[in-house]
Amino acid sequence: MKTNSSTSAVIIANGRFPRHPLPLSYIDNATFIVCCDGAANEFIDLGGTPDAIVGDGDSISEENRKRFTNILHIVHDQEINDLTKSVNYCIERGITDIVIVGGTGKREDHTLGNISLLAEYIRKVNVIMATNWGLFTPIQANRVFQSFKGEAVSLFSFDPEPITTYGLEYPLENRVLTNWWQGSLNSSLGDTFTVKTKGRVIVFQAYR
The rounded distance, in Å, linking the Cα atoms of 6 and 136 is 23
CATH topology assigned to domain 8-132:
Rossmann fold (3.40.50)
Report the predicted TM-score, pTM, of the whole model to 2 decimal places. Answer: 0.94
On average, the pLDDT of the chain sits at: 94
The rounded distance, in Å, linking the Cα atoms of 83 and 4 is 18
pLDDT at 4 over 70: no
Phi, psi of 137 (to 5 degrees): -125, 115
Question: 178 Cβ partners below 8 Å, 6+ apart?
Answer: 160
Question: 18 Cβ partners below 8 Å, 6+ apart?
Answer: 24, 27, 101, 102, 130, 131, 132
The rounded distance, in Å, linking the Cα atoms of 74 and 31 is 22
Q: What is the mean pLDDT of residues 88-109?
A: 95
The rounded distance, in Å, linking the Cα atoms of 194 and 188 is 10
Cite the residue boundaries of each domain of the chain with CATH code 3.40.50.10240.
Answer: 8-132
CATH topology assigned to domain 139-206:
Jelly Rolls (2.60.120)
pLDDT at 1 over 50: no
Tell me the per-residue pLDDT of 32-89, one tens digit each, with 9 for 90 and over: 999 999 899 999 999 999 999 999 888 899 999 999 999 999 998 888 999 999 999 9
Phi, psi of 134 (to 5 degrees): 175, -170
Order of strands, edge to edge, in the sheet holding 33-36?
72-74, 52-55, 33-36, 8-12, 97-101, 126-130, 134-139, 201-206, 152-157, 186-187
Cite the residue boundaries of each domain of the chain with CATH code 2.60.120.320.
Answer: 139-206
